[in-house]
Structure 1
Amino acid sequence: MLQSCISWHLIRKSVGYPTVKRFLNLSYKVVSESSSENPDLPPVLLLHGLLGQKKLWACLGKTIATVMKHSVLTVDLRNHGVSPHHPSHKYEDLAEDVVMLMNKLKINRAVLIGHNMGGRTSMSISLMAAERIAGLIIVDISPVSNCKQLAEDMLIILKTMKSIHFDGLNTRKRARTAARIKLHTHISDSITLNAVLKNIDVRKNGTIGWICNLDALLKNFNHIVSFFPAHLQNIQYNGPVLFIGGQRSDFIPPDDLPDIRSIFPNVVVTYITGAGHNVHAHDPRAFLELVIQFLKKNKELFK
């Protein structure tokens, strides 16, 4: 449990053992401050998926903030965007990072919206520190199974990214054009391809290249795409939960619904017609309608 992990660090320190800093200081952006009319509404944190970044969620975040008057923040998870790199990338680590960010910002409770890897991170937090979570919106990911074919495809994409060198390419445009040529045969969806290419940017050493930590993502790939941590599947989160799946995606199969309901008793599961895995990008209007409906419905519970 997260709180037990934090206590264990304090115990090690008190008896003279060296402590290991497990959590990282994540990069975040405040899309909108909370409305003065609704100061008690919990902030909404948007957590991206594998190879995503906080900036990809900015437009959706602004709409949520404008309509619902919640404070909205987008977050770069570890080894992504401009957040710090670390060799470990287990869901417990990602969860602890986010809770520590909430502590830093003095956020007592938050609504989490997480896609893919961010969805499993959100679920982990709700089961490890339930009192910190006002509600969950999980976007096209299951806690109990994984889409094998897409997992295999993602491994090929990561390995292809690792094989691309940017020597002599001194602008983002040239580097992204070169990478597009190698990646387009492995990524048929233009939305996914463009999101992956946005990982090419100016790195801390001043060179152009991948800003995500490919070495850590490849090393921890089985943790990222395998089933949700088994020890968390025996815990329940009783707050309001919405699962949004894509009708054309296999990431939330109907066979998983009984197990999902056993972990999240107050869950609603819905699918957006015609959408694939990147539900929020394939049909942002339908996605936002579901998110706003969920926030409105549970407004009193959030206070």
Structure 2
Amino acid sequence: MALSTDEQKDASALCQLIQELERQIQQRARQLQKETDRTLQQAEQIGSILQLVREGERRQEKRKRLNEKRQTSLEQQLEEALEQIEKQDRKLERAKRRERQTRDEATELEQERDEAVQKLRDEMSFFQMWRRDTIERFCKDIIITEREGKEARRALQQSEERARALEQERDTALQRLQEVDPLLQPSTLSEFIEESHASLFSKLTIDPNAGRGSEATTTNLRGKWQPEKVVEWTCFLSEQRLVFDNVCEAFPSELRTFPPPMTVRENGNKIAPITDENSLARFMGDSIEEPVKNIMKELESVDKLGKVCQGNVRVDFIDHP
């Protein structure tokens, strides 16, 4: 069915009107959306502002409580400070009283000091006079002492010269005596051993009258050492000869360092016959132990390389009476 021209125009105008309305509606919708977005954004901003306000209120409340605490603390500190000020005032008052007492005591001490200084000056004056007199007397004594000291030194020098002369004469006489009598000269090792055998060991005799005049008794063996078995020492003589030869080689043949023969003979003349175990022990000490100790002592001084005395060498004498 064909439309008339007017109808077509009306329809076209109506379509244009509808399109315009749709465009306006869309434009209005966009504006509303923008306003909605803007409103939401403002609402969010208002929420943030409200949150900030709440936080500010909380902080303000917190600061308020803190200020109240600080004020309370300041009030307490103020009270304590007032108490301290009162205490300081009381201390100051006591200090002032002590200061007045100290000034009074200082005045008394100054008076005592002045008196002590005056007394010390008097004593110093007396001491200086005494020292001057003492020095004068001491100088006079020194002059006299120096004069006497010179005389004493001269006498001492003369005495020393006489002593040196007498000592020289004694050494000369002793040397002449030793040259005349070999028995007074120190012995060599071989001479000392021979003289010890002749003058000491040969005096080992037993008193035939020992035990007479008292009841004879058997020896009590309780607590004494006794051999359970006796075995012959077959190589003793060879070992003894070897040790003896080593000792003799260690001593120079011309070395005279042992007691003179006359001294050994005098010791031998003191030996008495054996009467009991005690006298036997004395004989062993005088005739055996002492000579061996002399030899060992001199051996340590000549055997520097330890050819004979290797290590810590010692000789023990055990006597069980």
TM-score interval, smaller chain = under 0.3
Greater strand share, structure number: 1
TM-score (norm 2): 0.17
Greater Rg by CA: 2
Greater helix share, structure number: 2
TM-score (norm 1): 0.18
